[in-house]
Amino acid sequence: MKTLGKFLFLLSFSACCFSNSLTYLKNNTPYNSHELETIKAYLFANIATQEHVFSKAVEGQVIKSLPGAVLASPSYQDTTFFQDYQFHWVRDAAITMDEVTTLYDLASQKEKKQLHTYLENYINFESLIQKQHGEESLGEPKYNIDGSVWQGPWGRPQYDGPALRAITLIHIANSLLKQNEEDYVHSTILPLIITDLDFVMNKWQEKAFDLWEELNDTDHFFTKMVQRKAFVLAANFFNQMNDPAHAQNYQAVAAKLSHSLEQHWNANRGYVTETIHQQFYKGGGLNAAIILGALYGNLEDPNDPFAINSNRVMNSIYYIRHGFKHLYRVNIDNHYNPPLLGRYPSDVYDGMNDTYGNPWFLTTHQLAEYYYTLTNYYLNKKAITITADNFLFFHQVNHQFFSKPEVISFDRNPARFYQAISELIQQGDDLLHASKKYTACYNTYSCTHMSEQIDRKQGEQVSAKDLTWSYATLLTAMQTRLKDL
């Protein structure tokens, strides 16, 4: 009896103080709610609606945006930036609209009405571009903001776009089903999903450009991870829709993709490689795209070999961080901080003369989101298992705290478990604080702007301005942080 009483006391004590200490972290966030509202406003500023119309002058003609066009950035060729980002990229748009759908899920009924227009506009825009020029349309990486085909030279085709779009469309469909919009989902969204997935089913083994639009080859990790996720989600979704025939087909492709993904694990190097036939060229080897693949392709199955808690992905994080740590002046100057990430170490893309590559906001935000996602997994599991096979990962986080393989369990040692959780959250927070330091003010009232890249020497913003994807990744990371608390 006495022991039981003591046990119960200890249990309630640890439960109270465990959650209290996390409450402290929950309230002390890298971005406060006011700042997050500003970031949302910047993201929406890049999405065309019926009222918010963009005009673009191209070779003496004016192109006006259609509602639903998502500009990658408002930047358009000038003396400091040679690129034109005023396009609707299928990849960037799907990722952005997935975040908008999450905002819709979290919104009050009143706000939902306004956000509903964004979802509908996106669906109409995608429906138009899917039909533009037959099957080839689906491998097009980007479109004009009026939905017409852009015919300039580019790295095409790209096969991650239709998969990411299917993921977002399934998310939208599930959200709208909760609002009793069965008819709309069936008549309008379902056919778009089927079109994308049928296409990917036929093409996934063929050559295409990677997400950074540079390597034309088969077997890109990021692309396969998001393709597999699309098929897994679709299999569940079509079962739920009483369409087992489609569901079965999708399940079968997902299994093939899982098999094919195995080749990306490079045991000799100890990390996952992005493009298996180009491991010594550009981003073919070590690449922040591995983190994006693990997150955008996350099946939320802890036993998946590429799960966020897998030794493969955890070791890859170790090597990716290592690869960027001494690469940029801004990281060397802040060596006590986890490093800002670029795309891959030998990158030279800067939007101008390809002088040198730089850290990017979006890859850095994804690394932060990675730590937050992993923390949520451990909080659920109530134990952190450190073994010889993932030790490097923990050692990199804090070599004093994580000094040996062990199991840190909530039941046995809540204080230590809590401390370990804080260490992981702190990695994410340090990354977001670091990238926040490099946000820009356009004037006194307009701060926390984010471009695509941060100059590796001085930290000023370079490349495309107000990159939509930079904002989307910041919002998603912040939503993931201590999400279930």
Binding region for ligand NOJ (CB under 6 A):
72, 83, 89, 91-92, 211-214, 349, 469
Question: With respect to ligand NOJ, which residue has the nearer C-beta, 272 or 288?
Answer: 288
Residues 6+ apart with CB under 8 A from 388: 405
Question: With respect to ligand NOJ, which residue has the nearer C-beta, 83 or 223?
Answer: 83
Question: With respect to ligand NOJ, which residue has the nearer C-beta, 221 or 318?
Answer: 221
Residues 6+ apart with CB under 8 A from 346: 282, 357
| Residue that is written with structure tokens 């997902």 in the block | 254
Question: With respect to ligand NOJ, which residue has the nearer C-beta, 314 or 454?
Answer: 454
Tell me the sheet residues that pair with 56.
Answer: 63
Token pair for residue 99? 């975040």
Question: With respect to ligand NOJ, which residue has the nearer C-beta, 95 or 176?
Answer: 95
Residue 54: name the closest of 29, 76, 30 by CA: 76
Q: Tell me how far CA of residue 89 lies from CA of 92, 116, 442, in angstroms.
A: 5, 21, 26
Question: With respect to ligand NOJ, which residue has the nearer C-beta, 176 or 226?
Answer: 226
The distance from CA 273 to its chain's CA centroid, rounded to whole angstroms, is 18
Question: Which residue is closest to ligand NOJ by CB?
Answer: 349
Provide, for the chain, the percentages of residues in helix, strand and coil under a 3-state DSSP scheme, each rounded to the nearest 5: 55, 10, 35
Distance CA 286, CA 275 (A): 9
- Residues 156, 195 contacting (CB under 8 angstroms): no
Residues 6+ apart with CB under 8 A from 417: 18, 382, 383, 384, 408, 409, 410
Distance CA 294, CA 93 (A): 19
When computed from its CA atoms, the radius of gyration of the chain, rounded to whole angstroms, is: 23
Output the smallest distance, CB 343 to ligand NOJ, in A: 7
Output the smallest distance, CB 71 to ligand NOJ, in A: 9
Output the smallest distance, CB 212 to ligand NOJ, in A: 4
Question: With respect to ligand NOJ, which residue has the nearer C-beta, 214 or 219?
Answer: 214
Token pair for residue 70? 């998502």
Output the smallest distance, CB 298 to ligand NOJ, in A: 19
Q: Going by DSSP bridges, is the β-strand pair 461-462/453-454 parallel, antiparallel, or unpaired?
A: antiparallel
Output the smallest distance, CB 319 to ligand NOJ, in A: 21
Output the smallest distance, CB 362 to ligand NOJ, in A: 9
Distance CA 140, CA 148 (A): 11
Question: With respect to ligand NOJ, which residue has the nearer C-beta, 126 or 429?
Answer: 126
Output the smallest distance, CB 282 to ligand NOJ, in A: 8
Output the smallest distance, CB 94 to ligand NOJ, in A: 10
